[in-house]
Structure 1
Amino acid sequence: MSRAVITRADYPAAVLAPSPNFGPRPEDQPVDMLILHYTGMPDDDQALAWLQNPKSQVSSHYFVHQDGKVLQLVAEFARAWHAGASSWQGVSDNNSRSVGIELANPGHNHGYHAFADAQLDAVTDLCRHIIKRHRIIPERVLAHSDIAPERKEDPGELFPWADMAEKGIGHYVRPEPLGDGRFFQAGDQGEPVAALQAMFGLYGYGCPQNGHYCDVTAAVVRAFQRHFRPARVDGIADQSTIATLHRLLAVLKPQA
């Protein structure tokens, strides 16, 4: 595989903005995941420059500006460095099997705000194009926070996963409304907690199976809430969260 920077866009509407931060994918590893991020920096141009800086050791395949302009930094056949330490369905090297998209947004630490309509229109078309070419199944279109819940929050609870799913992007069900009822939180332990952890693990999250509602479990719950039940992100597994997880598992298609 060539180590040269990208010379032709995989997505016809993308403008090339090459990054040197990539490597080869394993020859026997198909692309079967799409990971969405936000840049998490106050200045969009600074964020782009960082992804293109060899000192950063980070990159993504695509960068989507708030005005909808799409840039391609790394060829899809190459392994971009966007996922970092992560886990999904027991696999830790998610860079080798995914395409990464960065959406320009300052993120939770710098004035997080809703994503612009033009940006969402552009990322919708981009995602559809990638999903079709690589035949990525809906439940493998994920947030960075899904695969790295202890480290990441992006693209966050303001990303419209429900709207995206209606357009054929991602796996989603109508979340159970907030309400009263039994819940699990930090310090709880026992078989019910272990059963909850097992359900998160079955869906794909890197959740411990120790029967203790530990910090990692709470981080997984927050990540799940950001993606699937964004009305309240608190790391507490309330009835709404658990019922929504049940719904997702019930409609999950068996994988070959």
Structure 2
Amino acid sequence: MLAPDTIEQHPSPNHGPRPRGTPVDILLLHYTGMETDVGALSWLCNPASQVSSHYFIFEDGRVVQLVDESRRAWHAGRGSWAGDTDINSRSIGIELAHPGHEHGYRAFADPQIAALIALSTGILSRHPIAPARVLAHSDVAPARKEDPGELFPWQRLHAAGIGHWVPPAPVAAGAAFRRGDRGDAVADLQHRFRQYGYGLDEDSEFGPETEAVVVAFQRHFRPACFDGVADAATLATLDRLIAALPGAVPAGA
């Protein structure tokens, strides 16, 4: 857990009040996706940008607070999780300085992840955020976002008590669903993704929306292959995660 006096302050004007009575129950992780960390921090604090986050972490591990946790920062944009569509009102947003897929995607720096773990540990001690609600930006907005991406070390966070994780099922040949498929089996897999939290219509058609959700899920939980094909390993990993949720009913019960 980070000591308060180790967190730098760089206030952003881009925030507003949280709706009364709305819990803070999501921790949302982003990368900045910009060429420089200084430029990214400046943009998050520029009134013209209309974007912000609660915290910003440099690659060297320095942590900066932009918005007080009691306020609604503007980091998530359009998205949904478990039926909630106003993600900003119920979340803490953390931006990791990183060039992103557009400017040279690479592994995240060890000091940055260590700082993220320390910061997140404190946030989780202050807010009722369940492990399965520690999320990627791409989880809540799969059609628009891909951050923090397939190289983000979710397993390392889980080992430190942050987030939800199960060992992914190994990629193997077998039955799979892909774009263009339709029918009851597609509706069932859409239902399973919705059961975990992804915003997805159960329309029995494997179209672009379903493919985007599968890619987002694979980036987070099965990063060895994120081709948008719902293969047996992807669905087995999803079922393991659902079974590990609090109150989950065992299969066949």
TM superposition score normalised by structure 2: 0.96
Distance change >3 Å, CA 219–CA 175, structure 1 → 2: same
8 Å contact kept, 1:10–1:76? no
Map 1:1-256 onto structure 2 (within 5 A): 11-254=4-247
Q: Match of 1:237, as an amino acid?
A: A
Gaps of 5+ in 2: 249-253
Gaps of 5+ in 1: 1-8
CA positional deviation for 1:13: 2.5
- What is the rounded CA distance, in whole Å, between the counterparts of 1:214 and 1:132 in structure 2? 40
Which sits farther off after the overlay, 246-255 or 231-240?
Answer: 246-255
- What is the rounded CA distance, in whole Å, between the counterparts of 1:132 and 1:49 in structure 2? 29
CA positional deviation for 1:227: 0.5
CA positional deviation for 1:137: 1.0
| Identical columns (%) | 58
Q: What is the match of residue 6 of structure 1?
A: none
CA displacement 1:219-247 (0-9 Å, x = unmatched): 00000001000001111101110000010
- What is the rounded CA distance, in whole Å, between the counterparts of 1:132 and 1:121 in structure 2? 17
CA positional deviation for 1:254: 3.1
Which sits farther off after the overlay, 31-40 or 129-138?
Answer: 129-138
8 Å contact kept, 1:11–1:126? no
CA positional deviation for 1:135: 2.7
Which stretches of structure 1, 4 residues or more, deviate above 2 A after TM superposition? 9-13
CA displacement 1:62-106 (0-9 Å, x = unmatched): 000000000000000000000000100111001000000000000
Helix, strand or coil: the match of 2:27? strand
Q: What is the match of residue 251 of structure 2?
A: none
CA-atom RMSD in angstroms: 1.3
- What is the rounded CA distance, in whole Å, between the counterparts of 2:228 and 2:21 in structure 1? 37
8 Å contact kept, 1:144–1:155? yes
Helix, strand or coil: the match of 2:173? coil
Number of residue pairs the alignment of both structures matches: 247
